[in-house]
């Protein structure tokens, strides 16, 4: 036992020794800026001079109706999360069944994952514009009287951003579910088919219950993307407008800090976003742990 304890201690010290450089670098390049952001979030900081405000900086922002409007936009975008999960799940099921042309479709659905958010935003902007592709499609089908310009109104622009966000997540979530389905016991599906079960019944009763962990992972990735990955998309498509119609919390940080020079407010909004994502991540871990137990 003594030898095992000594060997364990030696391995622990060796692990700490080799991990120390990485931990120091992470602390220097991530930890210190996070601590600084936490400090400046309690100040009125213009990038040079910082005036200490304390918790009043937060209370003042919580009274700001624009702040709650921005959170409302994030909440509305979250309504698209179920679609961004269920649609790729159905695609993955069909691809897993190897329908005709499944290799070609797999490449097509993966395409959004290989394209940058800037390119996606530019394409989407041209698609939803008044003289864009969407209206050209309406004309081609004899529906030219339907003249849409989603990007000119607050609700329409947010809808366009939501649709683009859902489309951009199709590739990532399809890959997640395809990976999950590849690990499932196919003998259950074969037995169900021999009993006369339809593909929908097999998916609902056999495949879906076995994908719980992959659904949870897809959910957390999609929600995090809705909060922290849409900056480039919104910047290119709408610039946060019209008004604050498409301004998310992530984009509001940029506007507050770099457009208005209120770096203290930007730091405070960043801290709020950080804690929101931390709570979401911890909640997800606890949920997964409870299910495992």
Tens of pLDDT, residues 150-196: 888 889 999 999 999 999 898 889 889 988 888 877 777 778 778 77
pLDDT of residue 4: 56
pLDDT of residue 292: 57
- Confidence band, pLDDT 50/70/90 cuts, at residue 291: low
pLDDT of residue 231: 92
Tens of pLDDT, residues 54-85: 899 899 999 999 999 999 999 999 999 999 99
43 phi and psi angles, rounded to 5 deg: -125, 165
- CA torsion angle for 107, 112, 113, 119 (degrees, to 10)? 140
| Mean pLDDT along residues 192-209 | 78
Instruction: Set out the domains of the chain in order of their start, with CATH numbers.
Output: 60-292 (1.10.3720.10)
| Mean pLDDT along residues 215-219 | 89
Question: What tokens appear for 169 in the block?
Answer: 């997540």
Query: Whole-angstrom Cα distance, residue 159 to residue 229?
Result: 17
Query: Whole-angstrom Cα distance, residue 51 to residue 93?
Result: 57
**Structure-token match 């457009």, residue found:** 259
- Confidence band, pLDDT 50/70/90 cuts, at residue 102: low
Mean pLDDT rounded to a whole number for the chain: 85
pLDDT of residue 245: 92
% of residues, the chain, pLDDT over 70: 94
pLDDT of residue 203: 78
pLDDT of residue 290: 64
Q: How many CB atoms are closer than 10 A to CB 60?
A: 14
- Confidence band, pLDDT 50/70/90 cuts, at residue 213: confident
pLDDT of residue 83: 93
Q: Are 246 and 128 in contact (CB under 8 A)?
A: no
């Amino acid at each position: 036992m003594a030898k095992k304890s000594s060997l364990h201690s030696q391995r622990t010290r060796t692990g700490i020794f080799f991990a120390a450089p990485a931990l120091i670098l992470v602390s220097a390049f991530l930890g210190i800026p996070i601590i600084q952001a936490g400090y400046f979030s309690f100040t009125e900081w213009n990038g040079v001079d910082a005036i200490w405000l304390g918790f009043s900086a937060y209370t003042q922002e919580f009274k700001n109706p624009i702040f709650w409007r921005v959170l409302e936009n994030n909440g509305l975008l979250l309504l698209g999360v179920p679609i961004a999960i269920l649609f790729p799940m159905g695609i993955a099921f069909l691809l897993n069944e190897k329908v005709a042309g499944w290799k070609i479709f797999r490449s097509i659905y993966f395409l959004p994952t290989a394209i940058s958010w800037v390119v996606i935003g530019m394409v989407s902007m041209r698609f939803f514009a008044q003289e864009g592709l969407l209206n050209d499609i309406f004309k081609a089908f004899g529906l030219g009287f339907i003249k849409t310009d989603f990007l000119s109104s607050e609700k329409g622009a947010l809808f366009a951003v939501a649709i683009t966000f859902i489309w951009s997540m199709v590739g990532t979530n399809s890959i997640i579910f395809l990976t999950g389905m590849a690990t499932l016991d196919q003998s259950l599906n074969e037995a169900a088919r021999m009993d006369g079960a339809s593909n929908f019944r097999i998916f609902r009763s056999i495949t879906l219950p076995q994908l719980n962990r992959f659904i949870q992972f897809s959910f957390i990735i999609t929600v995090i993307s809705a909060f922290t990955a849409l900056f480039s998309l919104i910047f290119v498509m709408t610039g946060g407008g019209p008004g604050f119609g498409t301004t998310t919390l992530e984009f509001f940080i940029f506007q507050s800090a770099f457009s208005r020079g209120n770096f203290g407010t930007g730091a405070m909004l960043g801290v709020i976003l950080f804690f929101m994502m931390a709570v979401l991540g911890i909640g997800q871990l606890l949920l997964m742990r409870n299910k495992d137990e």
